Chain A
Amino acid sequence: SQKIEQNSEALNIQEGKTATLTCNYTNYSPAYLQWYRQDPGRGPVFLLLIRENEKEKRKERLKVTFDTTLKQSLFHITASQPADSATYLCALASRAGKLIFGQGTTLQVKP
């Protein structure tokens, strides 16, 4: 069956460092992959999308890579700030547009 795995343990880093979050998947060939941010008590907010034929996407301090051979996406936040503390969800999308979400990784950036 289709499976998406994100690090269930919280990631704690120091302010100014680069945070790297991992999303692995099996038994799936997504058309594209999305990353969302979710703050406590709120709905997820879209951050970035990367297509199956793209290797890397950037937006300000965010960078996403997508390796369809390894079946893995990495999400990087450079020069991290305490305001970046949140849960980050990866979501795989079929060509029909149906999204399957991972369980998310909680990032804590300490000042």
Chain B
Amino acid sequence: DTAVSQTPKYLVTQMGNDKSIKCEQNLGHDTMYWYKQDSKKFLKIMFSYNNKELIINETVPNRFSPKSPDKAHLNLHINSLELGDSAVYFCASSQESIQRLKTQYFGPGTRLLVL
């Protein structure tokens, strides 16, 4: 059983298009994240949602809009795709605890290539 799943796994699209990536977790966690991993392998947080509320919003272009319909899902919509958006996007989830020790569980990643 997949704990954190993402669709699609691969996404090849033209510049200017709008696309969405979906993420679902079946771990019962209350916090979900989107990360971007660039060609240099740096993993950078983009957004974080806790109980469907946005709690982390890094300096990300407005073209990126996350949406959390419920605690188990966090989708990422990208408008007007640009070449620089090409990267691997990872979804992750964690369970908030009193001690705030957030071990994160990552999905398999979505490889986005913008042509």
Contact surface of A with B, Cβ cutoff 8 Å: 31-32, 34, 41-46, 49, 87, 89, 93, 95-101, 103-104
Contact = CB atoms under 8 A, between A and B. Distances in A.
Contacts of B48: 98
Residue among A43, A45, A87, A101 having the largest count of chain B Cβ atoms under 10 Å: A43
A98 B109 contact: no
Contact of A43 (B31, B94, B109): B109
Residue among B42, B44, B56, B108 having the largest count of chain A Cβ atoms under 10 Å: B42
Nearest to A45: B106
Contacts, number: 48
A43 B56 contact: no
A31 B31 CA distance: 19
Contacts of A34: 103
Contacts of A45: 106
Contact of B41 (A87, A96, A97, A100): A87
Contact of B102 (A89, A93, A101): A93
Nearest to B33: A99
A49 B103 contact: yes
B100 A96 contact: yes
Contacts of A32: 101
B42 A42 contact: no
A99 B45 contact: yes
Contacts of B34: none
The 7 A-B residue pairs whose C-beta atoms are closest, nearest first, are A43-B106, A101-B43, A97-B102, A97-B100, A46-B103, A44-B106, A103-B42
Contacts of B31: 97
Interface string B95-115: 010001111111111000000
